[in-house]
C-alpha cells in the first residue's frame, strides 16, 4: 500500500489477497476506486515452430476519480459503463491474481492458458496458449492457438492457414485483448503466429514477422508501466518473432538451444514460442506466461 500524488492510496497485488479499507478518508476524498486487473499470459508453444502465447486480459477503469495526476491507458475508455470506477466501502474484497500459463517443454507436455485475475465484479481472462505443429509428439495435426483474454498464435505448417486464437474471450467492452496471428503454409520458411496483445493483434508468421501484439502502459501507480504484450511466434529456418511491448516473451531464434522467452512476471505477458534452425537440430520449448497483477487506487483526502 503506497501513497501517490499526495492524495491517493494505491494497493498493489502481485498474488492472491484481500483488498481492505479500514478508513474511508475524509470529505475531500472519494467513495469510488479505480482498478487495473491484468490476467496471466498464456504459455508458448514449442517443437519445430511454436506459436506465441496471448497476453493476459487487460481491464482498467476510466479513472473518473483520479483525473489530473493519473493518466490511464487508451483502454480505460471514458464514458464506458463497463469500465466505470467501482464503489468503495469498508470491508474486504477477495483478490485473485492469475498465474502464467505452462509452456510446451517436451513430449507429452501441453501448453495452457494463463489464469484469470479478479477484483470485485471485474474478471480478466487468462491469455490463450500458443499453437504448435506438434510434429515431435505424434504427427502434423498439431494444436491450434487458444482463445483467451488475448488469443494465442496459430500453428504453422497448416493447409489452409491456421488462424490465431480469438481474443477478448469472453467478450467485454472495452475489449480486454486481441486475436493471435495466423501461422504459415507448409514448405520453405515457415512458423507459427505471434500472440495477441492488449492493443493489437499478433502478427502472422507469413508474410509477417510473427511478432507479439503490443500491450499498453498505464500510470495508475504514478509511474508508467506497460502490461499485456503478446509472445513472439517460433519459426523453422528463420528468426522467430519478438515479444510485444508490455512483457511479451520473444521466440527462440535460429537453431540455438534456448527456449522461447517467458513473459515478464506480473505483466501478463504471453510466452514466446520455441523453434529450430534446421532439421535435426532438435525441438525447443516455449516460454511460460507472465503472471498477472491487480492495482486499486482511490482518493482518500
Return the bridge partners of 20, or none: 92
| Residue 41, all three cell numbers | 499470459
User: What is the C-alpha separation between 53 and 286, in angstroms, rounded?
Assistant: 9
pLDDT band at 23 (very low <50, low <70, confident <90, very high): low
What is the CB neighbour count within 10 angstroms for residue 153?
Answer: 55
CA 49 to chain centroid = 20
Instruction: Give the residue carrying C-alpha cell 494505491.
Output: 10
Q: What are all long-range contacts of 77-85, with beta carbons under 8 Å and residues at least 24 apart?
A: 77/174, 80/173, 80/174, 82/172, 82/173, 82/174, 83/59, 83/173, 83/174, 85/32, 85/33, 85/34, 85/35, 85/61
User: Which residues have C-beta within 8 Å of that of residue 246, sequence separation ≥ 6?
Assistant: 55, 197, 198, 214, 215, 216, 217, 226, 227, 228, 229, 267, 268, 269
pLDDT, tens digit, for every residue of 108-167? 777 899 999 999 889 999 999 999 876 556 554 568 899 999 999 999 888 899 999 999
pLDDT band at 69 (very low <50, low <70, confident <90, very high): very low
pLDDT, tens digit, for every residue of 265-287? 999 999 999 877 555 555 678 99
CA 252 to chain centroid = 18
For the residues 160-176, what does the mean pLDDT come to? 94
Mean pLDDT highest for which of 63-72, 74-83, 105-114, 215-224?
215-224
pLDDT of res. 214: 95
| Residue 27, all three cell numbers | 470529505
pLDDT band at 25 (very low <50, low <70, confident <90, very high): low
Q: Could you give the percent of the chain with pLDDT greater than 90? A: 48
pTM: 0.91
Collapsing DSSP to helix, strand or coil, 26 comes out as coil
User: What is the C-alpha separation between 131 and 194, in angstroms, rounded?
Assistant: 10
pLDDT band at 18 (very low <50, low <70, confident <90, very high): very high
Does position 26 have pLDDT exceeding 90, yes or no? no
User: Which residues have C-beta within 8 Å of that of residue 158, sequence separation ≥ 6?
Assistant: 133, 142, 183, 184, 185, 186
pLDDT of res. 282: 56
Residue-level length of the chain:
301
Amino acid at each position: 500500500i503506497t501513497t501517490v500524488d499526495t492524495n491517493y492510496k494505491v494497493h498493489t497485488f502481485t498474488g492472491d489477497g484481500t483488498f481492505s479499507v479500514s478508513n474511508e478518508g475524509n470529505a475531500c476524498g472519494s467513495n469510488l476506486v479505480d482498478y487495473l486487473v491484468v490476467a496471466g499470459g498464456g504459455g508458448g508453444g514449442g517443437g519445430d515452430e511454436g506459436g506465441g502465447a496471448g497476453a493476459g486480459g487487460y481491464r482498467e477503469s476510466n479513472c473518473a476519480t483520479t483525473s489530473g495526476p493519473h493518466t490511464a491507458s487508451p483502454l480505460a475508455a471514458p464514458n464506458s459503463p463497463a469500465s466505470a470506477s467501482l464503489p468503495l466501502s469498508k470491508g474486504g474484497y477477495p483478490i485473485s491474481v492469475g498465474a502464467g500459463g505452462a509452456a510446451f517443454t517436451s513430449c507429452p507436455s501441453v501448453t495452457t492458458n494463463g489464469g484469470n485475475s479478479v477484483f470485485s465484479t471485474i474478471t480478466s481472462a487468462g491469455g490463450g496458449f500458443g499453437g504448435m505443429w506438434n510434429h515431435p509428439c505424434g504427427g502434423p495435426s498439431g494444436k491450434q492457438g487458444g482463445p483467451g483474454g488475448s488469443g494465442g498464435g496459430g500453428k504453422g505448417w497448416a493447409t489452409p492457414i491456421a488462424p490465431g486464437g480469438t481474443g477478448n474471450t469472453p467478450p467485454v467492452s472495452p475489449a480486454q485483448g486481441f486475436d493471435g496471428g495466423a501461422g504459415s503454409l507448409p514448405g520453405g520458411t515457415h512458423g507459427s503466429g505471434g500472440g495477441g496483445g492488449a492493443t493489437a493483434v499478433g502478427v502472422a508468421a507469413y508474410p509477417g514477422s510473427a511478432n507479439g501484439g503490443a500491450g499498453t502502459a498505464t500510470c495508475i501507480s504514478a509511474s508508467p508501466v506497460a502490461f499485456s504484450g503478446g509472445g513472439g511466434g517460433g519459426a523453422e529456418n528463420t528468426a522467430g518473432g519478438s515479444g510485444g511491448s508490455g512483457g511479451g516473451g520473444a521466440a527462440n531464434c535460429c537453431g540455438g538451444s534456448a527456449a522461447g522467452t517467458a513473459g515478464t512476471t506480473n505483466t501478463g505477458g504471453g510466452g514466446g514460442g520455441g523453434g529450430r534452425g534446421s532439421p535435426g537440430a532438435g525441438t525447443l520449448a516455449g516460454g511460460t506466461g507472465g503472471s498477472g497483477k491487480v492495482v486499486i487506487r482511490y482518493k482518500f483526502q
